[in-house]
Amino acid sequence: AGQLVDELRAMPAVESVALASALPFDQGLFGTVFRIEGRSGPGQASAAGATYLGVTARYFATMGTPIIAGRDFTHEDGLTSPRVAMISQRTARQHWGDQSPIGTRIRFTDQRQFLIGADGEEPFFTIVGVVGDIRFSSLTDEAPPMVYLPLSQFWDIESLRAVMRTSGTNVVRADDLQGLASRLDPGTSVS
């Protein structure tokens, strides 16, 4: 995946490239349930629902989605690094209200693709950023609550989508993209 991003970034007119497990108005989004560390008292929701998406560093810049608080994912957010997550503004409002979620930790309770920790439990993910809301299913539906994970810490992926931001009048042709992907991995199907 890293080599694909590097090769795409080197194409003329390409300003920014990222990968995602799904895209808006596409299929491949899944729901998840997570628990917020330290919330188990009376009147506090013990579990929260959201849609999750795996993305690489620069996804939000490439898609034009503002980072409202905290930081973006980086190349240092890998499998051997502490687990991190970003959430949408809607998720932050629903579960943290006026308080900042940055630095708080969540644990997913229903997804098998996350590596089991040394304690036999799903690992905690520290929230490092809050991003603007994105409509995923239609322009008229409300933006869903979202949790984003770095693709490098997320391993049960059926397929990847590449997103590119380009400039100028040069066009990136689909044939060039398919040829590049086939050259990097001849067994990969590209659409």
- Looking at residue 42, what is its pLDDT? 47
Average pLDDT by stretches of 10, the chain with 191 residues: 76 86 77 82 64 91 96 91 94 94 89 57 88 86 90 73 79 71 71 67
d(CA 149, CA 79): 12
Answer for the pair 87, 128: CB distance below 8 angstroms, yes or no.
no
- Looking at residue 159, what is its pLDDT? 74
Measured from the Cβ of residue 182, the count of other Cβ atoms closer than 10 Å reads: 13
**HSE (CB half, 13 Å, CA atoms) of 46?**
4
Tokens matching residue 149: 């994970």
d(CA 182, CA 115): 30
User: What pTM was computed for the model?
Assistant: 0.84
If phi over 0 gives left and psi between -120 and 50 gives alpha, with beta otherwise, what is residue 4?
alpha
- Looking at residue 111, what is its pLDDT? 57
- Looking at residue 46, what is its pLDDT? 63
Tokens matching residue 188: 């990969």
d(CA 30, CA 109): 14
Answer for the pair 161, 19: CB distance below 8 angstroms, yes or no.
yes
Q: How far apart are the first and last CA of the chain?
A: 16
For residue range 9-42, what is the model confidence (pLDDT) as tens digits? 887 788 888 989 888 887 667 788 888 888 765 4
